[in-house]
Amino acid sequence: MDQFSASTDEELILLSRMGDSRANLALTQRYCGPARINHIRRVAPDLLGRFSLWEVSSVALRVFWKCLDGYRFGNSRFFTYYITSLRFALSRFRREMIQMSVRCVSIDSLAKRDSTYTLHDVVTGERDLDDPRQYVNYFETLDKYHRLPKTVTKEMLEIAKLRLEGLTYYQIAEKMGMTYRQARSRHEKYLSIARKTFDVK
């Protein structure tokens, strides 16, 4: 590997593209070894304190391989190309992580707007033994033997199962390609049929 220590990045890329695996390895060690932490600190010094080294390093590794494939000779030095790409990728990573944490915080408030039911109560009742899943299981069994009432569609049953899994109407609508109102109204119709079927008040 020492024979490549004085080689420029561009020389190593050229050798690598000509099939020299040792040059490829030398360049990978140059960018993905201990130096990667310095590169990350250079473009986004706050990230290593907020996120794990593994998360941030995985972003840097993906950027390196993408840059290695996309680099064009003559436009700029590889290092400049890589650092610029890394800056944009880590900035996007920061935004995505912040948005994810905001979405996680807002799930409860979103669920409260969905309906008066909790995420696990697809069917409510007075009896202690009421288990919302038994109604889904019952209709699934009927469907298996082709005896599902015409009033209960497979789509309604799928919505009920997704509600049991904790999804909101907004998430169900996006997953099933329908509007929020359609998802909610079909689930409410299912609830009404289930209550009548099992005489749940």
Higher-confidence position of 24 and 127:
24
Q: With 50 as the cut, is the pLDDT of residue 107 above it?
A: no
**pLDDT score recorded for residue 132:** 60
* Residue of 29 and 123 predicted with greater confidence: 29
Q: What is the mean pLDDT of the chain?
A: 77
CATH architecture of the domain 2-106 equals Orthogonal Bundle (1.10)
What pLDDT sits at residue 117?
42
The pLDDT of residue 129 is 35
The pLDDT, as a whole number, for residue 177 is 92
**Stronger pLDDT, 134 or 145, i.e. the higher one:** 145
pTM over 0.85: no
Range(s) for CATH 1.10.1740 in the chain?
2-106
- Asked if residue 153 has pLDDT above 70, the reply is yes
Q: Is pLDDT of 106 > 50? A: no
State the average pLDDT over residues 48-77: 83
Percent of the chain with pLDDT over 90: 4
Q: What is the mean pLDDT of residues 144-157?
A: 83
Residue 134 pLDDT grade (very low, low, confident, very high; cuts 50, 70, 90): low
User: Given a cut of 70, is residue 190 above it in pLDDT?
Assistant: yes
Residues 13 and 76: beta-carbon distance below 8 Å: no
Indicate whether 17 pLDDT > 60: yes
What average pLDDT score do residues 60-77 get?
A: 86
| Span 109-123, pLDDT tens digits | 444 444 444 434 444
Q: What is the mean pLDDT of residues 57-65?
A: 87
